[in-house]
Chain A
C-alpha cells in the first residue's frame, strides 16, 4: 500500500477544467497529448497492431461521445476524460510498491516506472478508467499533466501548459491551481458551476467539468414571431412604392 501525502489547506493542486459547453469532440486534445507524451516523461506510448486488425495504443486522454435527453432537450455530449489527479486517489493507495504516487508539491499523480510491476491494481481501483497499461513495456502509464512541459525551462513560458490545453481549438480546456481559490481556474469553476465527476466515489478529483450552458433554443414571448406588416403582398408593394431612399 502506498500513502497519500498530507494535503495542507493551501496546497497547490494543479489540474484541468474542461468546458463541456464548447467541446465539439474533435479529439485534438487526445492526439496532441499522445504526440507530446510519446516522446515525454512516460515515453513511448506504445501502439499495438498500428496497421493491423486490432489497432490499440496507450492514450492518456480519450474523448467519449454520448446522447442525453430527449426531443428538444436532447443533446450530443462530448466528454474528454483523463486522470483527474484525485486528492484521495485510490490508484495510489492500492499500489503495492509505491510506484503510483501523488506529489506533495503540486498534487499531480504519477507512476514511477522503476517501481511499477505492472500488476494493474491501480487500473482496477480507478473508478474513471483513466489508467493505461502499456503491454509492451509492462508498466502502467497515465496522464502526467505534462509535467515535462509545465515546468520546462527549455520551452517558452506561454507554452508551459499541458499539450491538451495548448492545442484545444475551442479553448474548452483550462489549466491552473485549483487549490487557490483566487486562481483563474477556480474562479471559472465558481462562475460556471464546475463539478466533480462521480463525487459519490469519494475520490475528491482535482479536475473539474463545466456543465453546458442553458441552450437558447426556445422562443421567448417577445420574439416568437414577426409582427406581420401586412398579410397581402399587394399591400406590401403599395407601401414599397413610396419608399424612396437615396443611393
Chain B
C-alpha cells in the first residue's frame, strides 16, 4: 500500500561549527574533526588529511562524547579533610590550591629539591614536564615509560637509533612478510589496522606471535601461540637457522653495522670486549685484502667478518660478527632444542626462518630511486628486503625483555631490512645516533639550583650512572643505579615503594599527573595503598608526607591525594604533540600537531600544563620567569608552546616557524604559530625528499636534511650496533675495572646481564617460584575498545567491557576440572584474586589471561558500588609483586628487567583454584569511595543527542 516512501529529512543540519584537534582517548594521537552544535559535541570523526589515521577513528576515539560528559569529571580544586584514602575532600579556590602547592614545593626547592618526586603517567607533554623538573632541580622525574615499554625503546635506541611505534613503522605499502610480536591489540591502534588491511589486500603474509589469538592475531595468516617470556628464544632460533643456512645480508652488515668492528679478546684486562680503536677513538677493522688494521670509515677497505687478528700490543681481536655468529650458532638454539620451552614446534620455526629468507633474498625489491650514501657514493637503485617486524609490550614487559628486543633488532640487521623498501622504516626525527645521547642529569642536586640537563637520558658507561661513591642510587626510583643502569624512562612503578621505605631516602612531596597509582598503574595495588596511608610511628605523619595529584577524573588515585588540581578533558585545552617528545610522523614525513580547546569549560578546572607553568613562575624557576622576575609565559601552555626554544630556533613545534611563519624545523618563534596550525587542521607535516627516504642512517641527503630540520645535531652517519659496546663497559666495571664499580652484591648481576650481544634467560619470577606450585603464566591483553582504565566512566565503552573473565585453554580447564563460568582463585606467590572463567581454544595452554584494567574499586569514577567492574571485574595487579621473591641475602630486587628496570608485568606465574560453579562475586571489604563534594548527579538514564534531532 506504500505508494511512496514517507518523506524524511535526509539533509539535517549537523553542526554550527566544525573544529579540528587531536584525540586523547588513547596514546595514538589521531587527528579528529569535531562537529559542534549549540556548544555541545554532536559528532567526532577522524580527520581525513591527518598522517596518523587518515580519517578513520577507533572505538575509543568515537566514544569521546561520553568522556566529555562523564559524571566522574572533577569540577573544582580539592583539599583532603579526612584520613588519606577515605576520599573526604573540601572544595577550595584555585588561589588556595596554587598557594598551597607553592608553599610545599617552595620549601623543598629551598632546601633539597630531590625531595620532590614528580611523576607523570601517560603524559603527552613530557617536553614540558621533564624540562620543568630540571628547572625545579629534582632528578626524580619520569613518565610512565618504565612500566610500559622502556625495554623496547632502550634496546632500539642502543641498537639502531630508533625503535618501534613512534620511532618507525613497517613499510606496509611494500612489505611481503610481516611479523608482529606481542602486540596487545593496540600501539599503534589505527595505523596498525590500516597497515594490516593493506597487507591482506596485497596478499602479503602476516605472522602474529602472541600467546593469545584475538584482535590482530585473529586475522593473521599464521598464529604462533608462544609461551610468554620465550619470544627471545624463538628469535634466537630463527637467527640460528638463518646463520646455519648462510642466509644473511653480508653486504648490509659490512656497510651499515658494526659487524666488522674488531672486539679486543683479552679476558681479564680492562679492554676486553671493547672495540679496537685508533688514537682518535675511531673503531678499527681488519683489512682482509691487505691484512692490516684499518679505520672503520675507510670505504676502500674490504673488512674481515671472521677471524682472529693480532694487535700491536700483543693481544688479539675478533670481528663482532664472529662473536655474534658463535653465540647464535650454538646447538642449544636449534629449533628442536627450543621447541619445548617456547611451545613452538621445530617445524614451525624452520618454516618461518625459511620464509623470511625466501622473501628477503628471493623477492628483493629494487626501486628506480637513486640515492647517495654518506661517503658520497651514488647508488642508481634502492634495494629492499621486504620483510618487516613490529613488536610492543608483549615482548618487552618481561625481565628478559631488553635482550629479547635486542635480538629482534639483530634479526632485522642480519636480514638487511632496516630502513629499506619493504622493511621496517624510521619515522623522523629518527634515526638518532646509536648508541644514543644525551646522558641523564642529576649527579649534583643543590638547593635552589636547576638540574643542568634532562633528568632522563642514556648512560654509556658506569661514569654516567646516578650513584654516590658507595654505589647507592641518587634517584628515588633507583633509575640509572646499578639495579637499573639503562632506565631511560625511569621506574615509576618503584617510586611509592621506595618513598615509603625511605630507600634511598625519604621524600617530602609526591606530585603526580594522570597516573592511577593506587589502582591499575601499580604492581601490588593493595600494598601500594597501605604505603600511601602508612604513618611514621614517631611523628604520626604519613611516610609519604604530601601528595599532589592532577587528574581530570575522580579516579582511585584521587582518593589518596592531599591536594587535587583538577585537569580539563582533551577537548578543552591546548596541547602539542612535539617532536621533542613522542613524535607522530610517518616514514615518509615528519609531523607534529596540537590540541586546541573545541568546547568551553563549564567547571572550575584548569589545564595541568597551564597550572605547572604558573606554579613554576610562582616558584621563580629560572626558565619560567623573565629578567624582572615576572612570569615568562603569562599566556600559559599555549604561550610556552609558541615561544619556548630548546635550542636556538628549535621549539616544541616544527611547523610555521620564523617571524613570517615560513620556516620549517628550525626558525625563530612565530607568535601566530598556533593560528597556522589551527588553519591547517591542527597538524603540520613535511615530506622527506624522495632520495632521502631510505637507508637514512647512511643517506647523505637525509643526514643533511635532518640537520637542517633540527632532527640531528650533525650530519654524521649512524652505524647500526649489532654489538653494543656500552653494555660491555658496565660488565668490565663488574669485573673490577675502572673508577666506578658496582658494590660487591651487584657484580654478578651486572656481569651476567650486561652482555654486549643478546642473551636469553628465563624470566626472573618464573625462575624464582616453584613451577609445580605456579604452573601457569598469567598475562593481560588490552581490549581495542578500552585504554587502560580510561574507559570505565565512559557510558559507551563500559557497555562493551564492564567485566573481565579469566580466559584459559579448554584443555587446561578440563584438566583442572574447571568449566565455563566457574569462579576461581588466581593465586601467585604474592597474593590471590577472584575471577570468573571463560574457556577458549585460541590461547597457549600454559597461559591464562584477562583484559587489562577493567576491574574498578567501589565508588571510583563514580560508578555504582555494585557495578560489574567492581563485582565481577578484577585486576591482576593485585597479585603482581613490585619486588621479586627474596634471593640469597634477603634482598628483594624490583620485579623488572635488570638492564632497564622495565616492570615485568607479564612474568606473572599463577595456579588456578576452583571455587565453585555458583556465582560468587569478587569479595571486597572496601568501603566505597564517596563522591567528591558538590558532585553532579549521576544520571539513571542517558538520552544524549535528543536535542540534536530534527523531528519532521
- Complex Cα gap A189–B61 (Å): 30
Contact B841 A70 (CB under 8 A): yes
Which parts of A119-162 form the interface with B (CB within 8 Å)? Answer: 136, 147-148, 150-155, 158-159
Highest count of chain B CB atoms <10 Å: which of A217, A236, A247: A247
Task: Give chain B residues whose Cβ lies under 8 Å from the Cβ of A21.
Answer: 200, 219
Contact A237 B322 (CB under 8 A): yes
Residue from the list A56, A57, A226 in contact with B242, Cβ < 8 A: A226
Task: Give chain B residues whose Cβ lies under 8 Å from the Cβ of A152.
Answer: 10-12, 14
For the side of the interface on A, what is the size category? 35 or more
Q: Say yes or no: is B920 at the interface (Cβ < 8 Å to chain A).
A: no
Residue from the list B218, B350, B353, B840 in contact with A78, Cβ < 8 A: B218
Q: Say yes or no: is B17 at the interface (Cβ < 8 Å to chain A).
A: no
Contact B42 A166 (CB under 8 A): no
Secondary structure at the A interface, as helix, strand, loop or mixed, is loop
Contact B42 A39 (CB under 8 A): yes
Q: Say yes or no: is B502 at the interface (Cβ < 8 Å to chain A).
A: no
Task: Give chain A residues whose Cβ lies under 8 Å from the Cβ of B867.
Answer: 51-53, 55
Contact B6 A112 (CB under 8 A): yes
A37 → B minimal CB distance (Å): 8
A245/B800 contact (C-beta < 8 A), A31-B62, A240-B306 known:
no
Which parts of A214-247 form the interface with B (CB within 8 Å)? Answer: 215-217, 219, 222-231, 233, 236-237, 239-241, 243-247
Q: Say yes or no: is A76 at the interface (Cβ < 8 Å to chain B).
A: yes
- Complex Cα gap A168–B462 (Å): 49
A54 → B minimal CB distance (Å): 8
Contact B864 A51 (CB under 8 A): yes
B860 → A minimal CB distance (Å): 11
Residue from the list A31, A38, A49, A170 in contact with B785, Cβ < 8 A: A31
Contact B944 A44 (CB under 8 A): yes
Contact A22 B219 (CB under 8 A): yes
- Complex Cα gap A46–B59 (Å): 18
B30 closest partner in A (C-beta): A169
Q: Say yes or no: is B279 at the interface (Cβ < 8 Å to chain A).
A: no
Residue from the list B241, B254, B301 in contact with A226, Cβ < 8 A: B241
Query: What sequence of 0s and 1s flags, for each residue 1-43 of chain B, a beta carbon within 8 Å of any chain A beta carbon?
Result: 1101110111111100000000000000000000001000011
Which one, B638-646, B683-691, B701-709, B791-799, is touching chain A?
A: B791-799
Contact A236 B243 (CB under 8 A): yes
Query: What sequence of 0s and 1s flags, for each residue 603-641 of chain B, a beta carbon within 8 Å of any chain A beta carbon?
Result: 000000000000000000000000000000000000000
A151 → B minimal CB distance (Å): 4
Query: What sequence of 0s and 1s flags, for each residue 33-75 of chain B, a beta carbon within 8 Å of any chain A beta carbon?
Result: 0000100001111101000010111111111010000010000
A226/B53 contact (C-beta < 8 A), A21-B200, A101-B5, A170-B196 known:
no
B751 → A minimal CB distance (Å): 26
Q: Say yes or no: is A187 at the interface (Cβ < 8 Å to chain B).
A: no
A91 → B minimal CB distance (Å): 15
Q: Say yes or no: is A41 at the interface (Cβ < 8 Å to chain B).
A: yes
Which parts of B241-258 form the interface with A (CB within 8 Å)? Answer: 241-247, 250-251, 254-255
Q: Say yes or no: is A35 at the interface (Cβ < 8 Å to chain B).
A: yes
- Complex Cα gap A36–B939 (Å): 21
B876 → A minimal CB distance (Å): 21
Q: Say yes or no: is B946 at the interface (Cβ < 8 Å to chain A).
A: yes
Q: Say yes or no: is A48 at the interface (Cβ < 8 Å to chain B).
A: yes
Residue from the list B53, B214, B251 in contact with A25, Cβ < 8 A: B214
Contact B799 A55 (CB under 8 A): yes
A223/B250 contact (C-beta < 8 A), A23-B219, A46-B941 known:
no
Task: Give chain B residues whose Cβ lies under 8 Å from the Cβ of A70.
Answer: 841
A41/B8 contact (C-beta < 8 A), A23-B219, A170-B196, A229-B246 known:
yes
Task: Give chain B residues whose Cβ lies under 8 Å from the Cβ of A97.
Answer: none
For the side of the interface on B, what is the size category? 35 or more
- Complex Cα gap A226–B5 (Å): 65
Q: Say yes or no: is A186 at the interface (Cβ < 8 Å to chain B).
A: no
A151 closest partner in B (C-beta): B10
Contact B941 A32 (CB under 8 A): no
Q: Say yes or no: is B216 at the interface (Cβ < 8 Å to chain A).
A: yes
Contact B840 A67 (CB under 8 A): yes
Task: Give chain A residues whose Cβ lies under 8 Å from the Cβ of B942.
Answer: 44, 46-47, 50, 57
Which parts of A63-96 form the interface with B (CB within 8 Å)? Answer: 65, 67, 70, 74-78
Contact B62 A75 (CB under 8 A): no
Contact A25 B218 (CB under 8 A): yes
Residue from the list B53, B288, B842 in contact with A76, Cβ < 8 A: B842
Q: Say yes or no: is A198 at the interface (Cβ < 8 Å to chain B).
A: no
- Complex Cα gap A21–B189 (Å): 18
Contact B71 A225 (CB under 8 A): no
- Complex Cα gap A43–B950 (Å): 9
Task: Give chain B residues whose Cβ lies under 8 Å from the Cβ of A231.
Answer: 244
B729 → A minimal CB distance (Å): 26
- Complex Cα gap A39–B795 (Å): 16
Contact A244 B302 (CB under 8 A): yes
Contact A3 B2 (CB under 8 A): yes
Contact A27 B59 (CB under 8 A): yes
A sample of 15 inter-chain contacts (CB < 8 A) reads A22-B219, A24-B219, A25-B784, A39-B947, A44-B944, A44-B945, A46-B941, A46-B943, A53-B871, A55-B795, A152-B11, A159-B45, A166-B56, A236-B329, A240-B305
Given contacts A228-B245, A246-B299, 11 further A-B contacts (CB under 8 A): A22-B219, A23-B219, A31-B797, A32-B59, A34-B796, A52-B867, A74-B841, A166-B56, A172-B197, A240-B322, A246-B300
Q: Which 7 A-B pairs have the closest CB atoms?
A: A39-B948, A38-B945, A39-B945, A50-B795, A169-B193, A226-B245, A76-B218
